[in-house]
Amino acid sequence: MGKKMLFMLLLSLLLFAVGNAQTPLEEVLTDTTGPPVPTSPSNVYVEDKPDDDGHGVIVRWDLSPDDGAGMDNVLGYEVYRSDSPDGEYSYVGMAIKGSDEYEDQDDSPIKNGVPNPDFIETEKTYYYKVRSMAAGGIFSEHSEIASGQAIENWFHSGKIGILVGVLIFWSFVVYFIFKARGGKDFYVRPLAGINAVDDAIGRATEMGRPILFVLGTGTAGDIATIAGFTILSRVAKLTAEYQTKILVPVNEPVMMAVAQETVRTAYLEAGRPDIYKPELISYETAMQFPYVAAVNGIMLRERTATNFYMGVFHAESLILAETGNIAGSIQISGTDQISQLPFFIAATDYTLIGEELYAASAYLSKEPILVGTLKAQDWGKAILMLLLLIGAILISANLSFIRDMVTVNI
Amino acid sequence: MEFETIIWHGLAAFLTLCIFTFLYKDNPFYKFAERLVAGVAAGYWTMLVFHKLFVDKVYHTMATGQYAYIIPILLGIGMWTRFSKKHSWISRYSIAFYIGISTGVSIPVYMYTYIFRQISATIIPFTSISNVLVVIFVLCALFYFFFSKAHTGAFNIVSKIGIYTLMIGFGAGFGLTVMGRVALLVQRILFLKDYVREVAAFIGG
């Protein structure tokens, strides 16, 4: 009896549901049209991507009438490309619902040792077509074909502000270099870290132990590494005079070549080319942590008395500095990597913070070019501080032209 | 768990412990792990350079007729003259080119990243105490990096505020990164723990 009652109840519910459904049951059962196909996007056109190196185009279109309206079933757009209008079109990517453009860009002719099919050749005509995509893998017809070329741009119009900034700074640099060359003696305030260099080298000489100079894990072209080379030159010259051994383990072949030249020249200037050995500068490995393991080993086995860390450093900074502490070395560090400065400050005896590293080069060498550049930097900073202060005051009064002036959109 | 996996994971666990022994002092286990990792990295990097630079940028560019690449290739060959005492001066041109290009590329990037973006983000209205403090502390921190003026008198006060501002920032950065490092340590210890379980499960069948 109970089962019969339950069956009748379920049947009544089913009939009620069918009776209240918007689509009659017989219509659902006889429908053979399938899910609705979205309309294709229209007015497809291709234009060169502005301000690039000639390996990118932008495909644009008008949204499908079913994107956000109509049947509202468009999920995205698929973009296809071909070398010729009647050729085979291959899928290059997709844009999500509501997007009316796709950036097709690739500047690598070779990828993984084979020609890259996605590579966009400069000034070659490419043909594109787009289609809408709905749920369940339902696609519209392809749009009409549109063509376009990637053109190489020599000038990036968005970087005019940077150009103006560089020119202003450059004019300061040239002016102050000429002044310095003309004999003007510019004041450079003393830096504790640099004043400690001579003492640190003297300590190593007295202890009869070597000095370790680490140029970091950047490349020879990094500005901080270049500043490191200038400091290395000064340190190497002193070590040559005191006949103290200096060890420079590096992680990049070009850095090794530059370090060898720097140390060799310093030994020559100190009048001791006879004691220079290329092995003082050793290549360890290019990979970060293996390099750190190797440098740590040198610190502990050679019992270096003084460690210099000058250049670009990453996550290895604390590991190096802590190992130096274990070895009982006096340590002087300098980097422009903001994220690593806290570790050097905490774990080394002296730290050159950011721009102090560049200033140290000028302070040590006293070369007119470097001292003049340092003076220009100070003037540049003064202008920036003024802009910042006036800009903040003006923007408080809803005047944003100074902020607009320094806002560069790339 | 396959026997082969147990062996490889065992090797990784052993090397992890070898590196950890450095916490006690330098020892043969650490030396072994250090030299192994440095050697493997050097070999791996050499092959990476061979495939990504020599094959892709030298062989394929020449094979596909992109002859403009001959300039960097010649500069690269110039670096090899360092092995000859007589011709090593040629390598200086390659080095000069490399450093000159790197620096030239860096200048606009630095100008944009470290100057324009920072200044633009700091020009904020004085609508709250926080905004006022941001502008004041940024100005003081910038003043600390003035090198052509002795930090005495009023300048010393401004400079001191600047360096304290920097130190507060560095302290926050230090704490944040140490937390990240602790997470890495925990990850490594979990790996060792999982390995012990794997071995126990393998032995237990």
Domain shared by A197 and A330, yes or no: yes
- Rounded Cα gap, residues A52 and A72, in angstroms: 36
- Confidence band, pLDDT 50/70/90 cuts, at residue B164: very high
Cβ A250 vs Cβ A281: under 8 Å? yes
**Structure confidence at residue B102 (pLDDT):** 87
CA angle, residues A170, A174, A179, in degrees to nearest 5: 145
pLDDT band at residue B56 under the 50/70/90 scheme: confident
Position A403 in a domain: no
CATH number at residue A126: 2.60.40.10
Same domain for A194 and A96?
no
Does one domain contain both A354 and A214? yes
Quick one: average pLDDT of A154-164?
A: 88
C-alpha–C-alpha distance, residues A82 and A147, integer Å: 9
Contact B41 A389 (CB under 8 A): no
Nearest alpha-carbon partner for A324 in A355, A352, A302: A302
Q: Which residue, A275, A344, A350, is CA-closest to A313?
A: A344
| Domains identified in chain A, total number | 2
Would you place residue A30 in the very low, low, confident or very high pLDDT band (cuts 50, 70, 90)? very low
- What is the four-CA torsion angle of A258, A218, A317, A359, rounded to 10 degrees? 70
Helix axes B129-144, B153-204, angle to 10 degrees: 100
Q: How far is CA A187 from CA A72, A191, A276, B146, in A?
A: 71, 12, 34, 11
Average pLDDT for A5-29: 50
A211 within a domain of the structure (yes/no):
yes
Spatial separation of the C-alpha atoms in residues B61 and B68, rounded to whole Å: 9
Q: Which residues does chain B have within 8 Å of residue A353's beta carbon, measured at their own beta carbons?
A: 166
- A121–B contact, CB cutoff 8 A: no
Q: Are residues A213 and A356 in the same domain?
A: yes
Domain range annotation of chain B: 126-205
Look at residue A268 and tell me if it is in a domain.
yes
Which distant-in-sequence residues (6+ apart) come within 8 Å of A159 by Cβ? A408, A410, B108, B112
> Has residue A295 got a pLDDT over 60?
yes
Same-domain check for residues A269 and A223: yes
Please indicate, yes or no, whether residues A222 and A120 belong to a single structural domain of this protein. no
H or E stretch covering B106:
helix B89-110
Query: Of the candidates A213, A333, A335, A204, which has an alpha carbon nearest to the alpha carbon of residue A282?
Result: A213
- Residue A276 maps to a domain: yes
Higher pLDDT, A290 or A58: A58
If asked whether residues A143 and A191 sit together in one domain, one would say no
Secondary structure of residue A186 in the 3-state scheme? coil
Same domain membership, residue A352 and residue A203: yes
Residue A61 placed within a domain? yes
List the CATH number of the domain containing A230: 3.40.50
Do A246 and A307 fall into the same domain? yes
Instruction: Please write the tens of the pLDDT for every residue from B19-30.
Output: 889 888 888 998
- Which residue segment(s) compose the domain that A354 sits in? 186-366
Q: Is the pLDDT of residue A115 over 90?
A: no
**A98 near B CB under 8 A:** no
Q: A403 in contact with B at a CB cutoff of 8 Å? A: yes
Q: How confident is the model at residue B189, as a pLDDT?
A: 92
Any B CB within 8 A of A384 CB:
yes
Per-residue pLDDT at A324: 94
Average pLDDT across chain A, whole number? 88
pLDDT of residue A24: 44
Same domain, A73 and A207: no
- The two beta strands, A138-139 and A125-134, are antiparallel
User: Which of the residue ranges A21-35, A148-162, B79-93, B185-199 would you say has the lowest mean pLDDT?
Assistant: A21-35
Q: Which residues in chain B (124-163) have CB-CB distances under 8 A to chain A?
A: 124-127, 131, 135, 138-139, 142-143, 145-151
If asked whether residues A239 and A138 sit together in one domain, one would say no
Nearest to B139 among A109, A341, A385 (CB): A385
A145 and A190 together in one domain: no
Cα R_g (chain A), whole angstroms: 34
Residue A22: inside a domain: no
Instruction: Tell me the average pLDDT of chain B.
Output: 90
- Residue A11 confidence (pLDDT) above 60: no
pLDDT-derived band of residue A19, with 50, 70 and 90 as boundaries? very low
